[in-house]
Structure 1
Amino acid sequence: MTPRSAAVNEELRRRSRERLLDATVTLVGERGYEATTLGDIADLAGAARGLVSYYFPGKSQLLQSAVHRLMNRTLEAALEREPRTDDGRERLARAIDAILGLAQERPVLMRTHMAGILQAEGFVQCPEQQRLAELLRDTLRRYGAADVDAAYPLLRALLMGAVFAVLLPGAPMPADTLRDDLFQRYGLDWELGVPPSAKPPGGTMPTLTR
């Protein structure tokens, strides 16, 4: 039998890793973090249990990578959907809507993710997190941010704060209100992106311009 080439082996490793990430998103979203074991994840992914440890040092790191992959794939789909556009203001609006949408559509998963980030290890510097950062930085660049290095951490913090506020047990804030605040901060018209209603909370359209 002819040995597999390095390129084929690399592709097989990539697919195995992605199956583990997909399985993690599915199971944690359905069952929660504590009820999901690494064995469950490996079984759903059709992978050997030892393969999980080969790619990830632990369950918390696996979850962060899985959610960051979900976030960057959701964000990329939102940015590139039809009609495609290079307009920076529209792309930033789509980015905000994509992240807020995940908080509303995947509350268990995103709440677990936020809780994990607040633990001692903080952000996991994995390829999935780096891809998410790349997409947000490119969005800010197209939007016209004068200093992307300074603007990116602020946007990241604002989005994380909005997600936390949507998911706060017992005292959640309406996503529309948070969207309105973010849009006004960045001088975005309410009708950009995917507006959840014809007008923002309060019934008046933002008049800020860049």
Structure 2
Amino acid sequence: MPRSASTNLELREKSRERILSAALEVFAEKGYEAASISDVTQRAGVSRGLVTYYFAGKQLLAAELLDRWLDGIGAILTLQGSADERLAGIIDGTLMAAASTLPIQRLAISLMLQPGTHPVFAAVEAAKAARVEQIEDAIRSIFGQRGADDPAVEEMLLRATLEGVTVKLAIYPETFPVEAVRRRLHASYGLPEPRTPLLISSPPVDRLRAK
């Protein structure tokens, strides 16, 4: 009995997701430059032809993963509440995402920084320009409501701070005191002290060391 169109569509989507998951694992383990399409096909357990059917090259795989990473950042647009509540939500949400999705965070950082792949990131960011501007404007609106003299600078500083935290967490996942840093960030912006800790692993404050 022939499969229905909806069944075929579902199977194709599952194959595409399996390929993307495999690419993320391979890129995270080997690095983008060292990884090959063959590595991805082996990890996904599919033919090379199927991979190239969905993604003509390695750059398109990286672009799709970065696209999803940017969409994840866009979740801040759904935050509700006062300016202080939304700012706290941005801080907490970013730390939660960084701690719980380290492979994609590492990949995004490496693709942004490496000269050979920075153009891939720039192209994805350009394609998502409207979405990125919405995110920037949402953060600037929060700082405007809080009475900041220059909301644009505050937005850039917050993003730089949170991205720096993400980099350190990616390098030192076993020793980075996420909860202590979170509470320090809340205090630095005059936000109420969090009532409960984030539901992620957070070692005590000691020294950042790779393990």
Q: Do they superpose with TM above 0.5? A: yes
- Are residues 1:151 and 2:149 paired? no
Q: Deviations over 1:128-170 (max 9, x none)?
A: 4762452243033134244333222212211111111212248
Of the candidates 182, 185, 204, which is equivalent to residue 185 of structure 2?
Answer: 182
How far 1:125 sits from its partner (Å)? 4.2
Q: Deviations over 1:26-70 (max 9, x none)?
A: 2244443538644647959x96615524xxx743x7435524523
What secondary structure is seen at the aligned counterpart in 2 of 1:114? helix
Match of 2:3 in 1: none
- Pick the structure with more helix per residue: 2
Percent identity between matched residues is: 21
Contact 2:143 2:151 (8 Å CA) reproduced: no
Match of 1:124 in 2: 122
In the superposition, relative to structure 1, how do residues 23 and 100 fare at CA in structure 2: closer, same or farther (>3 Å)? farther
Match of 1:66 in 2: 65
Contact 2:94 2:162 (8 Å CA) reproduced: yes
How far 1:191 sits from its partner (Å)? 2.4
The code of the aligned residue for 1:150 comes to: V
How far 1:24 sits from its partner (Å)? 6.4
Contact 1:103 1:110 (8 Å CA) reproduced: yes
Contact 1:183 1:189 (8 Å CA) reproduced: yes
What secondary structure is seen at the aligned counterpart in 1 of 2:198? coil
What is the CA RMSD across the aligned residues, in angstroms? 4.1
Contact 2:186 2:193 (8 Å CA) reproduced: yes
The code of the aligned residue for 1:34 comes to: K
In the superposition, relative to structure 1, how do residues 196 and 170 fare at CA in structure 2: closer, same or farther (>3 Å)? closer
| Separation in 2, partners of 1:162, 1:149 | 20
The code of the aligned residue for 1:52 comes to: F
How far 1:89 sits from its partner (Å)? 1.3
How far 1:106 sits from its partner (Å)? 1.6
TM-score (normalised: structure 1): 0.60
Greater than 4 Å deviation, 4+ residue runs: 22-25, 35-39, 41-44
Contact 2:88 2:186 (8 Å CA) reproduced: yes
Query: 5+ unaligned residues in a row in structure 1: which ranges?
Result: 1-15, 203-210
Match of 1:196 in 2: 198
Aligned residues: 173
| Separation in 2, partners of 1:146, 1:64 | 36
